[in-house]
Amino acid sequence: MTGREGDPFGPARRRPDETADDLESWFNEIVRDAETGRLPAISRGSSRDFPGLSADFRVDILDHGDEVIVVAELPGAEEETITIRLLNPQTLRITARQTEPVGEGYYIRERGNGTLSRLIRLPASVTEGGAKTSFKNGVLEVRLKKMKPGPEPGGKEIPIE
C-alpha cells in the first residue's frame, strides 16, 4: 500500500463518482456474503482476506499436503484469551485479547490493549476434526485437516454385474 496515484490499494482506487451510499452498499454485501458462507475472491495484492474488513494481526497460511496450517502473530495476547472458531469449511475466525502492559510513566505507548480479531479465508475446505493448535511466544499455530473430496459431479457410476 503505497498511496501512489494508480495504486490499486491506495486512494486512487475509489472512483470519483462513488458515493457514501455506494460504499455502504458494498460493505453490507461483504458482511451478508460472509454470514451466508459465500466468499469473495481472495485479495491477491492485500494482506486482507476479506476486502473492507480490517486485519488486526498478521497471518501466514500454508496449503500443505492433507492439511492447512495457519500461523498468526498475536503480540501481547495470553493463551487463555484466544478463541478459534471454524465458521464454515473455508472461513476461520481467530480472536484474542491483548493485555495491557503493567506500569506507569510511559513516554510513548504504541502497544495497545483490546481485542484482536480476524476472519481468515482458507485455501481449501477443512474440518474441525483432528485440529491441532499450539501457542508459544505470541505465535499461534492452527493445523486443520482438509476435507476428503466428495463424489464426482453427477454422482458415482454403478457398474452392471
CA distance 124 to 137: 28
Q: According to the model, what pLDDT value does residue 104 have? A: 78
The pLDDT tens digits of the residues spanning 42-89 come to 443 344 455 545 567 899 999 989 999 999 999 888 999 999 999 999
Within the chain, residue ranges assigned H as helices are 20-36
pLDDT value at 18 more than 60: no
Report yes or no on 58 lying in a domain: yes
Report yes or no on 23 lying in a domain: no
Provide the 3-class DSSP secondary structure of residue 115: strand
Percent above pLDDT 90 for the chain: 37
Q: Provide the number of structural domains found in the chain.
A: 1
Q: What is the mean pLDDT of residues 88-92?
A: 93
- CATH number, residue 116: 2.60.40.790
pLDDT value at 157 more than 60: yes
pTM: 0.60
Q: Which domain holds residue 116?
A: 54-102+111-146
Q: According to the model, what pLDDT value does residue 45 have? A: 36
